[in-house]
């Protein structure tokens, strides 16, 4: 359902003065997300600060925690998660604690025998939520024991009061999602039907608090039906929570939906003009004045219904905006205190004082639920909150860097950003954005490559300002490939593809040029024995050839099979790198280490500068034994019980290393982000956020693939993390910005993406981009595997997005559309600029010869190489790239085997020829393939 942005829409509130002094009169419009988010933090931090000690697991405290967890899911603020986790631990992950089932009771009671009383079961909602973030069976063991015992009885009368529906109905659907046991859904419906039989008034569409309040046995002071607002608030919120987790094909779903809509209509009918609901819903004079808990639960339920397309936005928007106006301006006090909450009870009580000082834990929880849903309500343009598209097809691994780079020349004539990636068709590509021309170009670096996201390109600016691009296959070929731009700073002018031959297989090229040795390239990669490797290369000669002048040498030797390393440099004389014992899939625990490479001595040093080895003499030996840690303490960053993996290393302003890392549980289901920094004396590790589990769609592979994290090298106290967040389209991985103080503690969290339709993962801050608006990039979309194969033919089918909104709208200005036949009549004139687009349909059997002729200018396909050729006046300009794709890999076995499969031929392709000022550019399916200087012929 499309959302309607009602800017400028105001509602004139009736002015009514109550004896309490309450006087709301304000125009209401759609709030800002930042304002509502600020309120969430203000309210929750106030509550948690003023209630540092945890109490029992009874309903009032547990109801608060349902709101607190919703705030965590929305904001990602780990302080909220930790608060609920500490409360759960305080209560031993239990409700009532009796272990003797023969003594378990279900009526009202507060002692430990009342295990089957719903007020002792609402805590299970929070325990299950905590479990979904960090799975651990002990968190839900008691919940399962209690609910499974309850379901084993022949009773159905457990929910005899309205509150109980909120307390337990969502527990049933949450446990179903965790266990897949259909009995939870059957019993949910059975118990609900009993509750309906004793409390539901079909005429009013509302619930009595319990059977003793049914009309006419009980009446309001004016003889009306007495429906208690908080009681019906519990029910409407319960239905929203149930529908959120209930399968779409559940056989009873339509019944819950119908009841939800009926209640919503009845609730709206008795809203007061000031936005709140009175305690007796149909008789405002029974207990007049505002009340927050019922109002907040109604606001939450109605907002959830609109946000999930069960309620019409146009009808309900005025209602929820009035309700929010009350909650945000009347109930909320300046210090974050939530007022006007009726105390614990079960009915509307005439004469009971409810004022700004009246608060309660459950009222705060209800307020947080409403506020979180209001944020989602405001998000009326999800595509904007997914960032801005760099390319619709692209992905990368996170161990080959820099995968993107910004370069601005000293004279300012070059000001460009380059972002590299590979798509599932085996096209290695890069986007170049020119800030002077405000021009975006997507360049085809290499076609028909191994379709594997480990093969993303990396960039290096040479001393002559040309751009050098490295790439390689994933660990199954003994060489690197590279191309160098012919013009400074311009990758649209790439030269021919060349190779660096190695004795061992290669992957993850990370190149450096340091100011103390500007005549060499230091290339780091995973090479010898699958370990970190380094070599010193010459700069390109006149023919762009380079030589290996020192190395390659293996840097370290681990007891693990495959250490994973990340590199950076100080730009002068040192290369810093951090690495693991091995792959976290195979290593548990998996340690994290740190070393320097000194390019003057060509020695390996620890963080204190102690020499560990001379690199050429052999690798430094590392392991996980306690003796090693004692002997080389300054090489070890982290020696946890979990499985570490590393995401980035950077250097802070004092010159100390900082590291973005993740700890992964033994069973690989729980990932946690950490920020490690060297203080000068020790490595301090600060927890940042819960990262969920593996982010991708394939449940049985690569369980250590977190959403990802990146450090801003320009301000290393800013970290971007991909974390699971509940939004309009369910739980998706969103990019969030974490700001740290000097001690490494999180002081603020900001959402970069919101309400995304697909996951946002593997964020990366573009080096040297701090003075540009194009800084952050990430992968967006579904992801099934790191390689295309018959097992997962869709592979890594993501796009690349960024935080830059300045990309130009793609247009085909002055573009001539023509057929191949029409092109024969086109008169090509070197002195006249043109842009021509043609759809070519090559014969896939012959696959050779002339594909397009424009007078003396021809576009040919070489039968032997499958590479296109531009021919003009007896001169042939051959592309580096074959005219085809690597789509044949989709029917091949999964794995890296060193084979080159026969390329898939194009049966149809889009060719664009762009000629301007003597320069001809060819584009294949939108990718810039060749840049050819025809200018000499003009002269």
Supply the residues annotated as catalytic.
163
In the three-class reduction of DSSP (H, G, I as helix; E, B as strand; rest coil), residue 685 is classed as strand
Q: Which residues contact 151 (CB under 8 A, 6 or more apart)?
A: 183, 184, 187
- Residue 821 structure tokens: 């036949």
Distance (Å, whole) CA 228 – CA 153? 31
Distance (Å, whole) CA 527 – CA 535? 10
- Residue 237 structure tokens: 């919120």
Pairing state between β 834-840 and 815-818: parallel
Name the E strands within 611-652.
Answer: 611-614, 620-622, 636-638, 643-651
3-class SS string, 761-816: EEEEECCCCCCCCCCEEEEEECCCCCECCCCCCCCCCEEEEECCCCCCCCCCCCEE
Closest CA to 292 of 367, 206, 369: 367
Closest CA to 445 of 472, 464, 465: 472
Distance (Å, whole) CA 254 – CA 543? 72
Distance (Å, whole) CA 852 – CA 872? 12
The helix or strand, by DSSP H or E, that contains position 245, with its residue range, turns out to be helix 229-245
The answer to whether 744 touches 686, Cβ cutoff 8 Å, is yes
Distance (Å, whole) CA 74 – CA 371? 10
Closest CA to 295 of 317, 319, 265: 319
Distance (Å, whole) CA 437 – CA 601? 44
In the three-class reduction of DSSP (H, G, I as helix; E, B as strand; rest coil), residue 855 is classed as coil
The helix or strand, by DSSP H or E, that contains position 929, with its residue range, turns out to be strand 927-933
Distance (Å, whole) CA 696 – CA 679? 35
The answer to whether 275 touches 24, Cβ cutoff 8 Å, is yes
């Amino acid at each position: 359902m499309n959302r309607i942005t009602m800017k400028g829409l105001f509602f004139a509130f009736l002015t009514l003065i109550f004896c309490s002094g309450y006087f709301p009169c304000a125009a209401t419009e759609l709030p800002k997300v930042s304002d509502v988010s600020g309120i969430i933090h203000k309210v929750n931090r106030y509550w948690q600060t003023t209630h540092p000690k945890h109490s029992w697991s009874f309903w009032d405290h547990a109801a608060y925690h349902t709101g607190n967890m919703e705030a965590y899911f929305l904001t990602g603020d780990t302080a909220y998660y930790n608060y609920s986790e500490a409360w759960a631990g305080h209560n031993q992950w239990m409700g009532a604690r009796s272990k003797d089932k023969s003594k378990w009771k279900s009526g009202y009671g507060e002692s430990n025998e009342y295990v089957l009383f719903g007020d002792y079961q609402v805590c299970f909602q929070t325990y299950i939520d905590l479990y979904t973030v960090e799975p651990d069976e002990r968190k839900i063991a008691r919940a399962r024991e209690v609910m499974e015992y309850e379901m084993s009885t022949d009773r159905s009368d457990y929910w005899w009061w309205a509150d109980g529906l909120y307390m337990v109905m969502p527990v049933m659907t949450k446990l179903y999602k965790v266990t897949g046991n259909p009995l939870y859904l059957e019993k949910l419906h059975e118990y609900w039907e009993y509750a309906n039989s004793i409390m539901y008034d079909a005429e009013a569409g509302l619930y009595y608090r319990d059977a003793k309040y049914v009309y006419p046995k009980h009446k309001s002071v004016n003889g009306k039906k007495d429906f208690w607002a908080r009681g019906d608030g519990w029910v409407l919120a319960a239905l929203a929570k149930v529908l959120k987790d209930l399968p779409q094909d559940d056989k009873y779903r339509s019944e819950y939906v119908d009841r939800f809509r009926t209640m919503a209509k009845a609730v709206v009918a008795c809203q007061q003009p000031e936005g709140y609901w009175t305690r007796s819903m149909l008789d405002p004079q029974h207990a007049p004045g505002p009340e927050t808990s019922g109002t907040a639960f109604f606001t939450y339920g109605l907002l959830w219904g609109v946000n999930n397309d069960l309620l019409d936005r146009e009808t309900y928007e005025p209602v929820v905006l009035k309700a929010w106006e009350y909650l945000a301006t009347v109930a909320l006090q300046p210090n974050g205190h939530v007022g006007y909450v009726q105390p614990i009870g079960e009915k509307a009580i005439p004469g009971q004082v409810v004022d700004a000082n009246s608060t309660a834990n459950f009222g705060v929880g209800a307020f947080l639920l409403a506020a979180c849903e209001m944020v989602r309500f405001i998000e009326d343009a999800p595509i904007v909150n997914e960032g801005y598209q760099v390319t619709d097809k692209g992905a990368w691994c996170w161990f080959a860097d820099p995968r993107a780079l910004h370069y601005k020349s000293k004279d300012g004539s070059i000001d460009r950003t380059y972002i590299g990636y590979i798509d599932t068709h085996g096209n290695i590509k890069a986007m170049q954005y020119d800030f002077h021309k405000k021009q975006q170009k997507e360049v085809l670096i290499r076609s028909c490559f191994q379709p594997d996201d480990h093969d993303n390109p990396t960039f290096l600016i040479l001393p002559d300002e040309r751009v050098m691009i490295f790439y390689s296959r994933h660990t199954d070929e003994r060489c690197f490939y590279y191309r160098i731009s012919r013009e400074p700073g311009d990758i649209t002018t790439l030269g021919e593809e060349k190779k660096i031959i190695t004795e061992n297989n290669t992957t993850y090229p990370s190149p450096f040029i340091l100011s103390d040795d500007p005549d060499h390239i230091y290339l780091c990669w995973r090479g010898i024995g699958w370990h970190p490797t380094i070599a010193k290369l010459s700069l390109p000669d006149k023919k762009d050839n380079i030589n290996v002048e020192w190395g390659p040498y293996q840097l370290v030797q681990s007891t693990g099979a495959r250490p994973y390393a990340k590199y950076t440099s100080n730009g002068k004389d040192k290369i810093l790198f951090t690495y693991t014992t091995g792959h976290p899939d195979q290593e548990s625990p998996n340690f994290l280490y740190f070393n320097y490479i000194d390019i003057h001595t060509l020695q390996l040093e620890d963080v204190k500068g102690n020499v560990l080895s001379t690199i050429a003499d052999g690798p430094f030996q590392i392991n996980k034994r306690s003796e090693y840690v004692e002997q080389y303490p300054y090489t070890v960053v982290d020696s946890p019980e979990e499985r570490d993996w590393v995401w980035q290393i950077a250097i802070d302003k004092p010159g100390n290393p900082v590291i973005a890392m993740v700890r992964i549980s033994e069973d690989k289901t729980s990932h946690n982000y950490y920020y490690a920094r060297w203080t000068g004396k020790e490595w301090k590790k600060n927890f940042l956020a819960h990262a969920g589990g593996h982010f991708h769609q394939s449940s049985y592979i690569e369980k250590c693939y977190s959403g990802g994290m990146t450090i801003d090298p320009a301000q290393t106290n800013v970290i971007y993390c991909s974390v699971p967040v509940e939004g309009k389209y369910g739980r998706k991985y969103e990019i969030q910005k974490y700001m740290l103080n000097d001690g490494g503690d999180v002081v603020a969290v900001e959402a970069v993406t919101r309400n995304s339709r697909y996951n946002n993962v593997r964020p990366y801050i573009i080096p040297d981009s701090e003075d540009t608006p194009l800084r952050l990039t990430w992968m967006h979309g579904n992801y099934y595997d790191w390689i295309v194969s018959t097992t997962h033919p869709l592979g890594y089918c993501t796009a690349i997005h960024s935080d830059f909104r300045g990309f130009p709208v793609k247009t085909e200005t002055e573009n001539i559309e023509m057929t191949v036949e029409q092109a024969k009549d086109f008169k090509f004139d070197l002195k006249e600029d043109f842009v021509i687009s043609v759809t070519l349909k090559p014969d896939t059997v012959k696959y050779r010869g002339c594909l397009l002729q424009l007078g003396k200018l021809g576009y040919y396909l070489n039968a032997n190489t499958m590479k296109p050729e531009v021919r003009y006046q007896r001169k042939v300009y051959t592309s580096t790239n074959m005219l085809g794709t690597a789509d044949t890999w989709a029917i091949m076995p999964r794995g890296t085997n060193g084979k080159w499969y026969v390329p898939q031929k194009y049966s149809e392709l889009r060719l664009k020829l762009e000629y301007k000022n003597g320069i001809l550019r060819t584009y294949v399916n939108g990718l810039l393939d060749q840049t050819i200087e025809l200018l000499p012929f003009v002269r």
